[in-house]
């Protein structure tokens, strides 16, 4: 909140929650690729 300059935590939460969700999805895909390739090799 302080880093991005918002005075209300709700503003930060509303603006950045979707970013966190996208990052979690990408991490899940990446982990699947890494562990999937280990099983094949």
Q: pLDDT grade, residue 23 (50/70/90)?
A: confident
User: Quick one: how far is CA 36 from the chain centroid?
Assistant: 21
CA-to-CA dists, residue 12 to 2, 16, 20, 22, 30, angstroms: 9, 6, 12, 16, 27
* CB contact at 8 A, 28 and 22: no
Predicted pLDDT of residue 40:
53
What is the overall mean pLDDT for the chain? 78
* CB contact at 8 A, 1 and 9: yes
How many whole angstroms separate alpha carbon 41 and alpha carbon 20? Answer: 32
Residues spanned by the domain of 4:
1-41
Contacts of residue 11, Cβ cutoff 8 Å, sequence gap at least 6: 1
Structurally, the chain folds into a number of domains equal to 1
Does residue 38 or residue 20 have the better pLDDT? 20
């Amino acid at each position: 909140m302080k880093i991005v300059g918002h005075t209300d935590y709700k503003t930060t939460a509303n603006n950045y929650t979707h970013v966190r969700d996208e990052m979690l999805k990408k991490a899940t895909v990446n982990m699947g690729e890494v562990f999937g390739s280990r099983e094949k090799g």
